[in-house]
Every structure is written in C-alpha cells, then in structure tokens.
Chain A
Amino acid sequence: MAKFKLRLRRYDPESGEAPYWDEHTIELEPHRSVLEGILQAKGRFDGSIGIRCSCRAAICGSCGVRINGEPGLACHTHLDEALARGDGKVIEVEPMGNMPVIKDLIVDMDAVHWKKIQSVTPWLLGREPVPEREYLVDREAMVDVTQSMACIQCGACVSDCLAMEVDPEFTGPAALAKSYRFVGDPRDDEHYERLKHLAEDPSGMYTCTHCFKCVDACPKGVNPMGQIMRLRRLAGSDYEIEDRNNGYRHEHAFVENIRRNGLLHEADLLPDSYGGKFHPNAVPELIASLPIVLRGLLRRKITPAKALLHPHKASKDLRALFDQIEEQPKRYELNLYVSGDDKDNEPLAGASEGSSR
C-alpha cells in the first residue's frame, strides 16, 4: 500500500460558488487506477465528489478526465504513472476541457461531444441495391475503418482539441473520425455528400490545425487526426471538391508551388490559396495583408526581387517524380494500421516448427 495525495477540481455551477481545489490522501497499491483513488476519497471522506464511471475497464468511455494536465480515462491510468506526469507529489484531476462542467469531474457530453457526433450522420447509408445477403467488400477496407470504430466516445480528444478551443463550432476530432468510419466504408453510398458537407462547413474538416493533440489524447489508438487527413485526401485529391474555405485551393496551390519551385515560394502561395492574385476572394485578403507586406519590405524581411521573381526552380528529376506519382491511375497509400510494421509481421522464432500438436 502507498499513500497518494489527490487534488480534485470541484465545482457546482448551481451553488453560485467559484471552482476550488479539494485535497484527499488515499491509500492504494501504486498499480491501481486513479479512478479507484477517486472512489476511495468519495467513499471515505466526501460522498459529494462528482465522477462518472461504469465499466472500470477502459471500454465504456465514461470516466474521461484530465490527470496532471493530460487527458485520459481515470480507470486506465495507474496512480504511479499519474504521479510521474506531474511534480511527483500530487495527482491533480480536473474535468475535461472544451465542454461545460455539470458538477466536479462530470462534463456535459450532450452539449458538445454528442451534438457533434450527431452532425455527421453517424450511421451507414447503405449502397443500393441492398444485397439479399451481405455486402461483399475488401478485407483491407474494413480493417482500415476498424481503427475509427475502436472509438469509445470518451471525449478525451475533444477535451484537448486546440482548434475547438478557439472555434467551438469546429466539428472536432471525434466526430470527424466517426465520419471517416463511413466515408472509408465501401458499403456506404454517400461518400461524396458526406465529404462535401465537411469541406463546405466553415468549421469543418479544414479547421483542423494538425496539432496532433487528439492523436496523443486517445486512449484507444484511433488516431483522429490521421482520419481527418484521410478525409482531406479523399475530398481534395479523389473527389476534387472545391470548397468555399480554400481547403482544396490551398492544397492544390501548395503542391503546384513545390512542383514548380522545389522549395516553397510563399509570395505566390497566399494569393494562389485564395484562387490567384486576381480572384475576387483574393483581393480583400491581399488588401488586408498590405500593411504587413509594407512593414516586411521596410524591414528587408521581404525583398521585391524575392517576392516577384522566382529565385529557385524545381530540378528536372523532381518534376519527373511529381509527374510519375501523380499520374498513377490510383493513389497509393500505405496504411500502417492495416499493414503493420515489418517487425510485427516477422514470424516468431520457432513458431513454424515443433508446435504442430
């Protein structure tokens, strides 16, 4: 048995009091979970501590919290591991972020998380005609979507999403991963409509900033950002959906910029991402940027020669690579979740012999 100091964030919006920290010392073996620690504090010292939990086995997704600053499941985080994350003296437990607190460690999942999940039509819109028996699909395609199916809806990724912190309307990592679960499913009939909706939404798939927070937050290895990148590849490269948020234009302007110059030529990228220097969308943006451009010129950060002329050109071999890969009839994508690592696939030593019985 070891003693651990738990510092819990307490808040009851109905009380009219401000949130505060509440400390309790609990006694448990170090490999026991933070959830067990909280339940001991609740049982022994203060029955009013608010925590939601059910399965205690990392499958129901109820006990999502922040432990020493990092999101996770209270039932899936060992006490010693939680302690090591902080200053080694105390385990701080707070409610998840980006969602309103109902009481103490319980957040309102309906107000944010479930609302967003509902917005992506989270069910299969089956391809017609519906077969008499089952749909026949490639094994690989189904293995691919099992990654997003592993989501237990705990909200850890939503809690940590940095784009949602500044844009609460953002569809967010969990709902976008859920959407890929159907866009990647060959039995679904509305891939284009789903992608179109997410591309055109001003706070849809193009609001993800690539911060990887959701990748590290997820206790189930769903890799939500990876699923968002798949959605973007499908929308931008395969379905060529030209959206009003410049997602498609930015992607294509960037790729063309590198094909031409080898290195990024920033002075072209900005106007091209808005559709080109003379595009109606680009003009107000360029005017808004003028004071900064002038200051950049004054400080010799930007020189007219560098902005107007192209100081570098892509070499022939580089352009040939672009052509060769882009002209393939089908885009090739290695998915490590499906293929695994070479190390994972090596036969175990001696596995092929002597164990036939």
Chain B
Amino acid sequence: MKVAYWPGCVSRGFTPELHGSMAQVAPLLDIELIELDRANCCGAGVIAEHNQELADTLNARTFAMAQQTDGELMMNICSTCQGAQSECQERLDANAVYRERVNDSLSASGLHYEQGIVNKNFLWVLVEDIGLKKLRKLVKQPLTNLRVGPFYGCYIIRPAARVGIDEEHPRSTYLAQVIDALGGSVIDYAGSHKCCGFPIITMNKTASLKQAGRHLGDAIDADADCLVTPCPLCHLNLDLQQPLAAAVVGRSLGMPVLHLPQLVGLALGLSPKELGMGRHIVKPKTVIDWSESVVAGV
C-alpha cells in the first residue's frame, strides 16, 4: 500500500533511529512511503494552547499536502502528532464555515483541505490495514521469550471518542496485539496507558521525571526486558531522560525502550544495529543479547 507519510519532527531530530527504522521496515511490510517533506510541525498541543486557529491552519496545510499525493491514507509515526492532528481535524471537519476560513488562509500556498482525511499512526495501519494475520506470516525471527511492555502515549488512546476507539477498533489494545503477533510476551504493568510526563519537563521537572521513573520502575518490577512505544516524545522522557528520572525516583533503572518500528523490524529479521538501537541512551542490552542468542541458535 502507498501512504502519504508524515514522520514528524522528533523522529528526524533527537530520535533519528525512529525515522531510520521506519524506512527499513516499510518495504518489508509492502508499504510505500511518500514523505511529506515540506509539511510542518503538528504543534504538539503547544501551538494549540497559544493560538488554536494557528494550530488548525498548520495541520490543515499538512493534510492538504497529503491529499495532493496518491497515498491511500496519511500515516504518522508519532502518537503526539496523531493526537494533536486529530484534535485539529475534529474542528476542521465539524464546521464548514471554519474550514472555509482556514482554506482561505491556505489558498496563497495553493493548498486546500477537503473534509475527512484518514490519518493513522503506524500502529493502527499495522493492525487495521496490513492486519495481524499477514504480519504473523511475515515474521522471520519470532520474539520468543522476549518480554515486552507496551507504552502507548496519551495522545493515541485519549480522548477515546476523538481517536476512534470503539468496539470494532479497540485501539488501546493494539500494541499488546502487535507484540503478541510478533511472538513476544506482553508484559502487563501499571504504567502502560499512563503519561510519560514529557509535556511538562520544562515546567514541573520533578513531576515529569517522577512519571517516567515510576513507569520504568513498574516495568522492571513486572520483569519486562524492554518497553516499546509508538511515540518519540515518550521515548525522550523514558530513554533520553532516564538517568535523570532514576535520580528522581531514587532507584537504578536501565530499562531499554524501543520504538515500534524497531520492534517490528527485529521480528522481520533486521538486526539491532540496522535498526539504530546503538543510538539509545539506555543501551538495549537485553534485546541485543536476545537477538544474538536467536541468531546463534539458528
């Protein structure tokens, strides 16, 4: 399938291994990525809390660019982009007069947003468009004995109505379903659906790091080998800031955190090195050891 691909900012900034691993994994899943390289930051909710119309217009600009491609849908690899863009789309799609107002602003750029774009995180595409049945068939290196804790990121699971969670689309369970389809063991721990704390890192640092530190500690207590997240901003607080979080919660952590495409890539036969795992602040030693033992066993 062909998708208009919005990688977001952080995947090309402080988590370059996310963008890199998505590029490696896409062809293995038969996804053709049409990268929206002229599109802009989603605003991460911060621009919306400064000026809502500005955030809506910026995201309408990205949606309009996606609609100019021949992709079946627009795909992102960031929970925060998903949430921030869904919020703007809700307003744009609800009110025709407002949509006209925003489109007037975009007209100078030769862009126009048509109501009803389908914008999905890679996680949703995996489950809903590729399908777990097909994913299971593509697995070359099942994640047997790898104990993986899901970490969703708030923006992709709440508010439930806006992010399209219903009986047919239990999106708050998809990460567990994917881990299972890849052959891994799903670890149930207290923090899987909670907040990583990143949005308040500059405003209330202790509270922010306490959130990250507690979830990492809970995952350790539940015996997880690693966490996996579809959100690079969660990755910043859980991995990049992990040494500071450990100091705040007063315990040693050392919990590896993988990006979703890295976990998928691992099961599809790619090596931790190819997936950029050497770039993490917390070296994913358990995952590398697991991968080496599997390769040695073949």
Contacts and interface: CB of A to CB of B under 8 A. Distances in A.
Interface string A280-311: 00000000100110011001111000100000
B57 A296 contact: no
B203 interface: yes
Contacts of B244: 288, 292
B62 to A, nearest CB: 11
A246 B46 contact: no
A318 B108 CA distance: 10
Interface residues of B, number: 67
**Chain B CB within 10 Å, residue with most, of A233, A264, A288, A295:** A264
B203 A250 contact: yes
Contacts of A252: 50
Contacts of B145: none
**Chain A CB within 10 Å, residue with most, of B40, B61, B96, B197:** B40
B119 interface: no
Contacts of B50: 233, 236-237, 251-252, 254-255
**Chain B CB within 10 Å, residue with most, of A166, A321, A324, A334:** A166
A250 B158 contact: no
Contacts of A165: 211
Contacts of B105: 321, 324-325
B195 interface: yes
Given A206-B203, A206-B204, A292-B243, 18 more contacts: A162-B211, A207-B207, A210-B45, A210-B199, A213-B154, A236-B49, A255-B47, A255-B51, A258-B41, A266-B14, A299-B278, A300-B278, A325-B51, A325-B57, A325-B105, A331-B52, A334-B91, A336-B94
B207 A163 contact: yes
B186 interface: no
B13 A166 contact: no
A314 B109 CA distance: 13
B213 to A, nearest CB: 9
Interface of A: 162-163, 165-167, 170, 202-203, 206-213, 215-216, 229, 232-233, 236-237, 245-247, 250-252, 254-255, 258, 262-266, 270, 273-274, 288, 291-292, 295-296, 299-302, 306, 314-315, 317-318, 320-322, 324-326, 331-334, 336, 339, 341-342
A250 B43 CA distance: 12
Contacts of A299: 278-281
B49 A291 contact: no
B16 interface: yes
A318 B90 CA distance: 22
A343 to B, nearest CB: 8
Contact of B53 (A254, A258, A300, A332): A332
Interface string B199-226: 1101110111011001000000000000
A231 to B, nearest CB: 9
A333 B88 CA distance: 12
A292 B197 CA distance: 18
A325 B53 contact: yes
Contact of B41 (A212, A262, A295, A317): A262
